[in-house]
Amino acid sequence: MFSLEHITNSIQQWLYSTFSPTMALILECAIVMLLVIGLFATLGLVLVLMERKVAARMQIRLGPNRVGPKGILQTTADTLKLMMKEGLTPNGADKFLFNLAPFIVMIAAMLILAPIAFAKGFQIWDINIGVLYVSAVSSVSVIGILMAGWASNNKYSLLGAMRSGAQIVSYELSAGLSIISIVVLSGSLQISEIVASQQTGWWLFRGHIPAIISFVIFIIAVTAETNRAPFDLAEAESELTAGFHTEYSGMKFALLFLAEYINIFIVCAIGATLFLGGWMPLHIGNWEGFNHTMDYVPSSVWFMGKTFFLIFLIMWFRWTFPRLRIDQLLSLEWKYLLPISMFNLLLITLIAIMGWHF
Amino acid sequence: MAFLKEYISDVYRAVASLLKGMKTTGSYFIRPKEIITQQYPDNRAQMKLPERFRGEVVMAHDDNNEHACTGCTACELACPNATIKIVTKFDTTPEGKKKKALDTFVYHLELCTMCNLCVEACPTSAIKMAQTFEHSVYDRNQLLKKLNKPGSKIRAGVE
């Protein structure tokens, strides 16, 4: 059976038998780096194309259909164009911060990738505080966005960055509370243990209605955290031209744009890990035959399928819902999501203590 | 308690209306046959234009090269941006009377906004809107059109 675990194990054994341990570790780091960069490039191309196709289908259009068969080379052509464009730095900008900001946003996105389990035994770094690490590092990207907005020396950029800051700071609360509700249920912060605790069923189904509520709150909060419509106030093309990346062009713009899509992938991957069981196949109670059939599907396929389902859900939101104003955005968080998720956490704790979950 | 009830019903109605919206877009997503995009240069032969589409003003001529324009200049007066210029002449009827008639119907396509006011103003329905829209040319003089065909005359009985 196809398994990424065997491949990584055999590569590791070969490296350690051929080189000295230090050299092997450095080589492993290099391989991981290459894989991450490759994953980012592919994800950027695939997700932008997927977004455009999904948007077109929901608006009864065709979408890109001229470059390559069915338009699948459209994003590749766009990327080539962006690479060849001039990366302009405005005269009035703070040049050091302006050029640094896209890389900070990108590096923050890369760091969150570390504890995510892509398949069974295919994980960069299985730390025992995985979930805490994810929620801590994901707030670093707001520094990059604020930096980009401030350094641009442009009122649109500054407004967009400030809004983005307010938005991420508020919505991190309810995202964190819904993550904690799963930590309460599984009793661990380690990603691999959270996945293992869903052996008999995903938390979304095992935690009764409170788990479903916290899943919905998680999806809403991460949509806001990634600055996507209906919470795209940081960009707000109708008011702020492009928000914090108004002044960016060429490859630096591409990095900010890519980071947006990478962040969507990451938050959906975390959502899939916490609520939908990560790489764990769909198991239903005592149906032995059904469970064995599901085990034949490779774990990487399960993980990617769940993640892309959540990405599709977030794209569905974007092309359906009207945008919120900044005051509506904040009152949604502080008056609705936060009280509901606090009460919900209480219920989940009760369920976990009494052992009422399946 | 009344506050709590209102709060819960607020949340319920918000979720219900959002789900309604998602149902609409989701149903379009799973039904690609509903796509209304026409791939224009490829489907020129079987392109479907809506009935109300307005491309340019034309004057209808019948088989005897006769039109229904009396030269009353109602369309010229109705036009908001001086797209139409009517040049009239005087015909002599068999009884020896002089009668006003159309000499040239000058139509500036480059000025026209396709507002349809001239067609509505015409008392004899002599002009109408055609659905042709490929009007691009290299010289703007080619957009200055004479709508009545050479040698045409007014149809008998149209006053």
Q: Pick the residue with more confidence: A294 or A320?
A: A320
CATH pick for B56-154 out of 3.30.70.3270, 1.10.486.10, 3.40.50.2300, 3.40.50.620: 3.30.70.3270
Alpha helices in A68-154 (DSSP H): 74-84, 95-112, 130-137, 141-151
Q: What is the pTM of this model?
A: 0.81
The model's pLDDT over A167-198, given as tens digits with 9 standing for 90+, comes to: 888 888 888 888 888 888 888 888 888 888 88
- Compare CB distances from A321 to B18, B26, B35 and report the shortest one's residue: B18
Query: How close does chain A come to B142, measured CA to CA in Å?
Result: 33
**Selected residue with higher pLDDT from A312 and A201:** A312
* Chain A residues within an 8 Å CB radius of B24: 320
Residue A250's beta-bridge partner residues? none
Q: Average pLDDT of A137-142?
A: 83
DSSP string, B89-155: EEEEPTTS-EEEEEEEEEEEGGG-----HHHHH-TT--EEEE-------SSGGGGEEE-SPTT-EEP
- Residue A57 is nearest to which of B22, B24, B28, comparing CB atoms? B28
Of the candidates A37, A337, A30, A9, the one whose C-alpha atom is nearest the C-alpha of residue A171 is A337
In angstroms, the separation between the Cα of residue A43 and the nearest Cα of chain B is 22
pLDDT value at A285 more than 70? no
Q: Using N-to-C axis directions, what is the helix angle for A4-18 and A21-58, rounded to 10°?
A: 150
Mean pLDDT over all residues of chain A? 83
Predicted confidence at residue A89, as pLDDT, reads: 81
Q: Tell me what pLDDT residue B138 has.
A: 92
Per the model's pLDDT, the better-predicted residue between A356 and A150 turns out to be A150
Q: Provide the Cα torsion A77, A310, A171, A128; round to 10°.
A: -100
Q: Say whether pLDDT at A252 is over 70.
A: yes
pLDDT digits (tens, 9 = 90+) for B122-131: 888 888 888 8
Residue A133 predicted with pLDDT over 70:
yes
Contacts of A60 in chain B (CB under 8 A): 28, 34-37
- Report chain B residues whose CB lies below 8 A from the CB of A62: 35, 37, 39
Distance from CA of A221 to the nearest CA of B (A): 15
Residue B157 has phi, psi (to 5 degrees) of: 95, -15
Q: Residue holding tokens 């994901």?
A: A138
Of all residues in chain B, what percent carry a pLDDT higher than 70?
99
Whether residues B37 and A57 touch (CB distance < 8 A) is answered with no
Q: Give the chain B residue whose CA is nearest to the CA of A63.
A: B37
Could you give the CA distance from residue A286 to residue A7 in angstroms, rounded to a whole number? 32
Q: Indicate if the alpha-carbon torsion angle A236, A94, A90, A99 is positive or negative.
A: negative
- Suggest the residue from B12, B25, B28, B43 to mutate for an interface test with chain A (most A CBs closer than 10 A): B25
- Quick one: closest CA in B to A335, which residue? B7
Would the pLDDT of A60 be above 80? Answer: yes
Residue boundaries of the structural domains of chain B = 2-35, 56-154
Interface of B with A in 22-41 (CB under 8 A): 22, 24-26, 28-29, 32, 34-37, 39
What is the model's pLDDT at position A164?
83
Q: Does the interface ipTM go beyond 0.90?
A: no
